[in-house]
Structure 1
Amino acid sequence: MKKILMITTGGTIASQATENGLAPTFNADDLLMFMPEIREKTTIQTLTLFSIDSTNMTLELIGKIAETVYQNYEAYDGFVITHGTDTMAYTSAALVYMLKNLGKPVVLTGSQVVVGALFSDVRKNLSDAFLFAREGIPGVFVSFDGIIINGTRATKFRSKSRDAFTSINFPVVAEMKLGMAKYNNLMYHGIYSKTYEIDKDKKLELNTRFCEDVAVVKLHPGIKPELFDFIKAHYKGVVIESFGVGGIPNQFVKINDKLDELIEANIAVVITTQCVEDGTELGVYAVGQITSDQIINAGDMNTEAIVMKLMWALGNFETHDDIKTFMETTVMGDVHYE
């Protein structure tokens, strides 16, 4: 039987009602008591790493998750990590960059409804996560409501519904039906076919160096240019959620000039879109004509992956050219360009 390490970190999946609302109280063994059948086909060891609401997740704690996988890597065939849903997509993306040459499955899951409650999704999500971890596909994944999502492409799309997560600009890897993984045929073709190919001769590398000096700015009518002066003084990188395929105001409020000033100050500027699907295509419109070739084009990445990738890049590269090259290079299927 496959040997899987279950790592718990808190979240709704480990919560129950308290005087102050839902709060994590269950550990890994508590959760497995609700579904003993999982152990019938899988050898499971458990580790409660910490127990928090994922709203309180930090880069240091994500680093501890990565370190735990790294330290136990040789002893297990795969890993299941239970996690709160609100920041799960950030953690899954960060783990991709922290764990280089990952040759085993790391599957994150959680729930929208607490265990034991009517219509709880705990049993389904946890069972699917273990089933997919047994498949042995290398990489980081999010397993939720019967679908498997690439770890850099997951977004929490709904705040209450059981189908909370969606895959952004990337096919769902598989659907979990009747206790089996039904793989998406698209994963065998074109740009997706080599996503999970690995060099088995390369060893797993752990790198948890991140730079937290990254801001995310969502453009809106009425935005004040002075905001970017503050960013220039206090941050090393900024993600701009632009309009449409890359529109930056350049007429009445000249945000484009402010971005030029940031670049001159050696601030890494990444342009993405506020739209959920399709990504950017800079230069299509006059308002998307960015003069500097130092702008980093996020392509079709989702914001969670952009932020984690930029923080990792700033923590590991010194020159802007190296940061830009890394950001615009595909890592485990995180970005594609038209």
Structure 2
Amino acid sequence: MKKILMLGTGGTIACKRSDQGLKPLLTSDEILSYVPEAASFCQADSLQILNIDSTNMQPNHWLAMAEAIETHYNDYDGFVICHGTDTMAYTASALSYLIQNSEKPIVITGAQRPIDMENTDARTNLSDSLRFASQEKAHGVTIVFDGKVIAGTRGKKERSKSYNAFSSINFPYIATVQDGQVVFYLDDKASCPRQVKFFKTLNPRVALMKLIPSMGSNVLDYLAEHYDAVIIESFGVGGLPSYDTGDFYKAVEAWISHGKIVVMATQVTNEGSNMSVYEVGHSIKKELGLLEAYDMTLEATVTKLMWILGQTRDGEEIRELFYQTINRDILWQV
């Protein structure tokens, strides 16, 4: 029987009602007690790391989770992290970079309603996560939610209230869990490296700028004073406004001349970017050498940059690491 460590971090799954609204109050032991059926297929222990609303999640919390897993890595066959849904995709992506090549499963799950409510998805999600973490074929960082198993770098919360809150973006589901049965669609554990790597540094100085029509480039000038990298969420397949002043070109050129990183992404959830299609993207990418997110999710792009800038500031190394596929994060590029 597999030994699984469940780590509590808070979130809706751990909430109870208070005068100010739902608040994470349940301990990891209390959460685990709601799924007694798990004892039939695994031996589960629990460990409380945090107990916060996931809106308050920060990079130092991701480092704490990775450290806890590293400390107990040799003692357990798999790990399940109970987490709030609002920033779950960021955490799953961050852990994909902080813990690489894990032959053991590291599952992130949560719920849209607290586990102590009568009508809740929490008990099913937690039971499914423990079951998936107990599978011989399971490995690496994943999200398990509403019966779907999603690669840690491909998850995105697309619904704020429904139980089917998460989707896998630009990548198929790894597996499904239904009626106590796990069906794998991707079975590649045998081909993956078996030497787990833990990383201990992140650089949180990564900004996101969402373009809107008529936005001025002075926003980029301001961000340059406070951040080492910026992700520009552009329209469609990607491009920058080519106003008569040429201000956006000059602002990006200034970023790059100061050794800072600029990544172009798209506001469109599915199918990714391709700056080579239109003149507004092709020329500026060719001339300035911007990085492009392609089919990566926004959450993966943000956390990958934090991880990369925590390891190096060399421009060529940054480019090489950014386009290196890690936990299925980027598969298409031009």
Shorter-chain TM-score above 0.5:
yes
Note if contact 1:139-1:196 (Cα within 8 Å) is conserved in structure 2. Answer: no
Structure 2 counterpart of 1:276: 269
Instruction: Tell me the alpha carbon deviations over residues 130-187 of structure 1, each in whole angstroms, 9 at most, x when there is no partner.
Output: 1100113210000001100000001111111111111110101111112111122xx3
1:16, 1:196 → 2: CA distance?
42
Q: Judging changes above 3 Å, is the alpha-carbon distance between structure 1 residues 222 and 293 closer, same or farther for their aligned structure 2 residues?
A: closer
Instruction: Tell me the alpha carbon deviations over residues 95-152 of structure 1, each in whole angstroms, 9 at most, x when there is no partner.
Output: 1111122110000000001123242001110011011001132100000011000000
Structure 2 counterpart of 1:199: 193
Structure 1 counterpart of 2:80: 80
Letter in 2 for 1:85: T
Which of the residues 188, 195, 202 maps onto 1:210? 202
Structure 1 counterpart of 2:3: 3
Q: Does 1:104 align with 2:104?
A: yes
Q: Does 1:315 align with 2:305?
A: no
The aligned length equals: 329
Letter in 2 for 1:149: I
Q: Judging changes above 3 Å, is the alpha-carbon distance between structure 1 residues 147 and 196 closer, same or farther for their aligned structure 2 residues?
A: farther
1:265, 1:292 → 2: CA distance?
16
Q: Judging changes above 3 Å, is the alpha-carbon distance between structure 1 residues 157 and 252 closer, same or farther for their aligned structure 2 residues?
A: farther
Identity %: 39
**Structure 2: gaps (5+ residues):** none
Structure 1 counterpart of 2:15: 15
Give the alignment of 1:292-331 within 5 angstroms: 292=287, 294-331=289-326
Structure 1 counterpart of 2:254: 261
SS of aligned partner of 1:321: helix
Deviation (angstroms), 1:293: 5.1
SS of aligned partner of 2:225: helix
Note if contact 1:260-1:292 (Cα within 8 Å) is conserved in structure 2. Answer: no
1:142, 1:308 → 2: CA distance?
16
1:41, 1:161 → 2: CA distance?
29
Note if contact 2:89-2:152 (Cα within 8 Å) is conserved in structure 1. Answer: yes
Letter in 2 for 1:2: K
SS of aligned partner of 2:237: coil
Structure 1 counterpart of 2:215: 223
Deviation (angstroms), 1:253: 5.9
Instruction: Tell me the alpha carbon deviations over residues 260-305 of structure 1, each in whole angstroms, 9 at most, x when there is no partner.
Output: 2211121101111000001111110111122335311111000101
Deviation (angstroms), 1:195: 7.9
1:196, 1:85 → 2: CA distance?
31
2:98, 2:324 → 1: CA distance?
16
Moved more, 31-40 or 278-287: 31-40
SS of aligned partner of 1:292: helix
1:299, 1:59 → 2: CA distance?
24
SS of aligned partner of 1:39: helix
Structure 2 counterpart of 1:287: 280
1:41, 1:135 → 2: CA distance?
10
Q: Judging changes above 3 Å, is the alpha-carbon distance between structure 1 residues 251 and 222 closer, same or farther for their aligned structure 2 residues?
A: closer
2:280, 2:330 → 1: CA distance?
23
Instruction: Tell me the alpha carbon deviations over residues 30-59 of structure 1, each in whole angstroms, 9 at most, x when there is no partner.
Output: 112222111122111111111000111111
Q: Judging changes above 3 Å, is the alpha-carbon distance between structure 1 residues 240 and 253 closer, same or farther for their aligned structure 2 residues?
A: farther
2:184, 2:232 → 1: CA distance?
35
Which of the residues 317, 330, 334 maps onto 2:329? 334
Q: Does 1:113 align with 2:113?
A: yes
2:190, 2:243 → 1: CA distance?
45
1:234, 1:32 → 2: CA distance?
42
SS of aligned partner of 2:108: strand
1:133, 1:48 → 2: CA distance?
18
1:271, 1:195 → 2: CA distance?
32
1:129, 1:235 → 2: CA distance?
37
Letter in 1 for 2:266: T
TM-score by structure 1 length? 0.94
**Structure 1: gaps (5+ residues):** 189-193
Note if contact 1:294-1:324 (Cα within 8 Å) is conserved in structure 2. Answer: no
Note if contact 1:225-1:253 (Cα within 8 Å) is conserved in structure 2. Answer: no
Note if contact 1:250-1:257 (Cα within 8 Å) is conserved in structure 2. Answer: no
2:296, 2:130 → 1: CA distance?
27
1:87, 1:169 → 2: CA distance?
19
Give the aligned CA root-mean-square deviation in angstroms: 1.5
Note if contact 1:216-1:240 (Cα within 8 Å) is conserved in structure 2. Answer: yes
